[in-house]
Amino acid sequence: MSNLKSIESYNLSQQLREQYQMAPRAGWDQSGKRGRDNHTILVNRAQVLDLTDRLRSEANIASVYTFERLNLVNVLEQLARGEHDAVICPECHRTYQTGWMNGQCVYCQCRKGASDFVQKLLVESDG
């Protein structure tokens, strides 16, 4: 799923969340409890199915990216181990070579870059 599709899914889920949160009460889930958390609401079946499909797709993609990242980290650490310029990052405790990225920890830099990129996308989509 492209970044644009992912942001569109995020925006849609936010809109549906707000819509469901403000939906009028249709009844009580459990008798005897009168709190707001016990309200039931009427929801369009097609919207729920679409939302669950999107969530399942996003969860699948997140799992693939997670395992891809773990495999990549494993390969990079194997490349770095045993080299004369290999060091262990004091923050993330991963092994890298000082010749990579001007001596900065590649893992910390990638994590920071990814976090900044996602925050930028979310700010752009909200504004």
pLDDT digits (tens, 9 = 90+) for 4-50: 666 777 778 788 888 888 888 778 778 887 777 777 888 888 888 88
User: To the nearest whole number, what is the mean pLDDT of the chain?
Assistant: 84
Range of the structural domain that residue 93 is part of: 3-126
Q: What is the pTM of this model?
A: 0.57
Q: How many CA atoms lie within 13 A of 16 on its CB side?
A: 19
**Strand, coil or helix: 123:** helix
For residue 54, give both structure tokens: 């999107």
Domain count, the chain: 1
Any idea which residue has 């729920």 for tokens?
A: 48
Contact 44, 62 (CB under 8 A): no
